[in-house]
Structure 1
């Protein structure tokens, strides 16, 4: 996303981007947004680590007259200029529909969710269950978006003979699960199908067979900067923009990898 944002902003010398990374620390993110408010930035782009705790400070910025783009994850308010994201509920449903084509009814699925106080995890979980809950036995654990957490919690399960498929809310957690299971029982790892979301690190994993598939979560950095510039020029923007997802499997992973390398 940052590469795309910087490439788009480079077209316009009047634009400069200042980035703060909260490293999954919600309070740090709130403090960083406060610093941007105090610095009187011309526009804020916020990807909330957690929806509810970040809402008050995001609303405060908007109500003070700072145009605000909510990117990727939602807040619990409509006090923002625009929201740009993919539809995580639909992505969850797409995963469920895909699983219906590759897994026999009555199979057991291990779902590894992201942080359940973040909107993508909640929506991906609900969308997935809308398609899969009646056909399969679903066991859900939280990986908090972090491969180390997923690794620890999958390892704690001890055995994997009854698992037919692992669906993780991002590729990093899916690969962490694969690594744990492969180290414990390589035959199980070969039998179990692993599916992730993002199609970033997951593209290579699809190509080498560790992942059955991944679902593209569009980074959209160029779109974010394009909309930001429209706002700064005083032009009208929509209240929300939806970015499109897609299935990435062995049939199209080479093409996507080539496209990503070209962007870089």
Structure 2
């Protein structure tokens, strides 16, 4: 998986290099908007799809003269340095998906204080010095997943929980939402909760440890299919009962649920929100006043709808609904 993601990152950077060179020539002519995109990472396939959507959206706007892209490898200190580099390049607007929600505040505040619009999306920051924040509500996502699982278990059962990157907005907000949902069901016992970085191998290893530790597991709350899918695989390999679970639009999760006739719940977190970030970055650079918060609504996919939702002919690492772009922009998962 790591090798694949590194290859994908190289492809993304080559494509962005072309855009950058083309854009720089236009900027020299004092034309167009220069965007800087500081990305937390492409550490999982959702983020690969997110960058692909961003890249395609940029090509649709002739008013964009150049697009500079950086990847922080999920390291806050690198992301701060990345933003500094983007500011030196003379960007007109900063788009940022923060590695964590507080440590990159200084970089966001620096750009904002310089009068540069800052479009935060996907993951939040804890400063208020930004122009707008775009997300599908992570809190509501975690809460809806928790509510569904509790009701699926008739308000009683032993569950294990999986979160993404500790300290990141999505992981913390989703878990807070889930906890608030579970608090209404005293019969729900949380056996353990672990941060597994949205990494299938890490999630599978943690689930294997849970299986050794607990003789009864009735449900899996995971804020992403990147973790519920391998957790279910671990249960199956151990010969344990397969249980209700939650996730989002990762194809592997949907496939596993359908193939094994399981009860699952999908709450999409669209990778195409990067497109919305580009659109609002243009508005901000042109001087339009933006709302402080923009929520992208989604429709959850219940257990009876997953069979019609899944794309059985696509890769496990495909993200259903995030592939609305020409083929040359689509990630390859061969």
Q: Which runs of 5+ in 1 are unaligned?
A: none
Residues 1:234 and 2:291 aligned together: no
Alpha carbons of 1:203 and 1:233: their partners in 2 closer, same or farther (altered >3 Å)?
A: farther
Partners of 1:237 and 1:212 in 2: CA distance: 37
Work out whether residues 43 and 67 of structure 1, in 8 Å CA contact, stay in contact via their aligned partners in 2: yes
The residue aligned with 2:6 is none
Change (3 A) 1:45 1:208: farther
Deviation by residue 1:181-215 (Cα, 9 ceiling, x = unmatched): 222x23x2x43222213445534444434772221
The CA distance in 1 between the partners of 2:291 and 2:94, in whole Å, is 16
* Greater Cα shift, 50-59 or 4-13: 4-13
1:178 aligns with 2:232: yes
Q: CA RMSD in A?
A: 2.3
CA distance in 2, matches of 1:17, 1:167: 38
TM score, norm. by length of structure 2: 0.71
> Alpha-carbon deviation of 1:180?
2.3
Aligned-pair CA distance for 1:239: 1.1
Distance 1:13 1:150 in 2: 42
Shift of 1:59: 0.8
Task: Give me the whole-angstrom Cα distance separating, in 1, the residues matched to 2:98 and 2:302.
Answer: 30
Q: Does the C-alpha gap of structure 1 residues 243 and 201 become closer, same or farther in structure 2, counting only changes over 3 Å? A: farther
When normalised by structure 1's length, the TM-score is: 0.88
Given the alignment, which residue of 224, 230, 247 partners 1:196? 247
What SS does structure 1 have at the residue aligned with 2:159? strand
Deviations, residues 145-197 of structure 1 (Å, cap 9, x unaligned): 322322222222325531111111211111221222222x23x2x43222213
Moved more, 75-84 or 209-218: 209-218
Number of residue pairs the alignment of both structures matches: 261
1:229–1:76 Cα change, 3 Å? same
Instruction: Decide whether aligned partners of structure 1 residues 262 and 218 sit closer, same or farther in structure 2, where only a CA change above 3 A counts.
Output: closer
Offset of 1:250 from its aligned partner? 4.5
**Alpha-carbon distance in structure 1 between the residues aligned to 2:263 and 2:214:** 17
Q: CA, structure 1 residues 256+83, in 2 after alignment: closer, same or farther (shift >3 Å)?
A: farther
Instruction: Name the stretch that deviates more: 49-58 or 92-101.
Output: 92-101
* Structure 2: distance between partners of 1:25 and 1:75: 15
What SS does structure 2 have at the residue aligned with 1:100? Answer: helix
Q: Distance in 1 between matches of 2:322 and 2:102?
A: 33
Equivalent in the alignment of 2:159 = 109
Q: In 2, are the aligned partners of 1:171 and 1:202 still within 8 Å (CA)?
A: yes
User: In the TM superposition, what whole-angstrom CA distance separates every residue of 1:13-69 from its partner, at most 9, and x where no partner exists?
Assistant: 231332222232222222212211222211111111111111111111111122111
Q: Which residue pairs with 1:167 in the alignment?
A: 221
23-32 vs 222-231, greater mean Cα deviation: 23-32
Given the superposition, is the C-alpha separation of residues 259 and 129 from structure 1 closer, same or farther in structure 2, using an over 3 Å criterion? Answer: closer
Secondary structure in 1 aligned to 2:150? Answer: helix
Distance 1:211 1:54, change over 3 A: farther
Q: Which residue of 1 aligns with 2:125?
A: 75
Question: Post-superposition shift, 1:260?
Answer: 4.3
Contact 2:160 2:220 in 1 (8 A): yes
The reply to whether residue 143 of structure 1 matches residue 192 of structure 2 is no
Query: Secondary structure, in 3 states, of the residue corresponding to 1:191?
Result: coil
Matched residue of 1:248: which SS?
A: coil
The 1:221/1:43 distance shift into structure 2, 3 A limit, reads same
